[in-house]
Amino acid sequence: MKRILIFVLLSVMLLSACAPAAKDVEASDVWARTGMAGGNSAVYMTLVNGTSADDELLSASSDVAEAVELHESKMGENGEMQMIPQASISLEAGAKVEFKPGGLHVMLIGLKQDLKAGDEFELTLHFKDHADITLKVIVKEAAMDM
């Protein structure tokens, strides 16, 4: 009887260890362009909605800038690049959304300090349903990651 009980307990422990961990909304490859105080910069990353529910990124905030906005760069009809503010960014269940130069990005407007390569600062993402996520952003020269 003891052997059966031990076997059952070990089996339960083994199976629970093999079960996939609950997924979450996660950000990776987070970086920002260098910028001068008073100027602008942008933050790039990859967001993955590992949950089974759709969500939206509503806004972002950081102490390094006067304003933080969600933007998308798109080529205009006349061949000029336009930056279009986004009210929110959809994150479908299981989807991966890339924030990259020439596309979606978090715009830092009116930098309160210089952002030099190697600097770090915090950026908080605010979602419709998911809890806020605070990220550590590493500043890089734009040419290093384009």
- Report the CATH number at residue 80: 2.60.40.1890
- Whether residue 50 lies inside any domain: the answer is yes
In a domain, 98, yes or no: yes
Q: Single out the residue of 84, 99, 25 nearest to residue 55, CA to CA.
A: 25
Residue 59 lies in a domain: yes
Residue 17 within a domain: no
Domain of residue 113 covers: 22-145
- pLDDT digit string, tens, across residues 61-100: 999 999 999 999 988 888 888 999 999 999 999 999 999 9
What is the pTM for the complete model shown?
0.81
**pLDDT for the residue numbered 14:** 47
14 falls within a domain: no
Asked if residue 117 belongs to a domain, the reply is yes
Tell me which of 17 and 32 has the higher pLDDT: 32
Instruction: Count Cβ atoms within 10 A of the Cβ of residue 37 and give its class: 0-12 exposed, 13-18 middle, 19 or more buried.
Output: exposed
Neighbours of 139 (CB within 10 A): 20
Query: Would 12 be classed as within a structural domain?
Result: no
Q: How many domains does the chain have?
A: 1
Residue 16 lies inside a defined structural domain of this protein: no
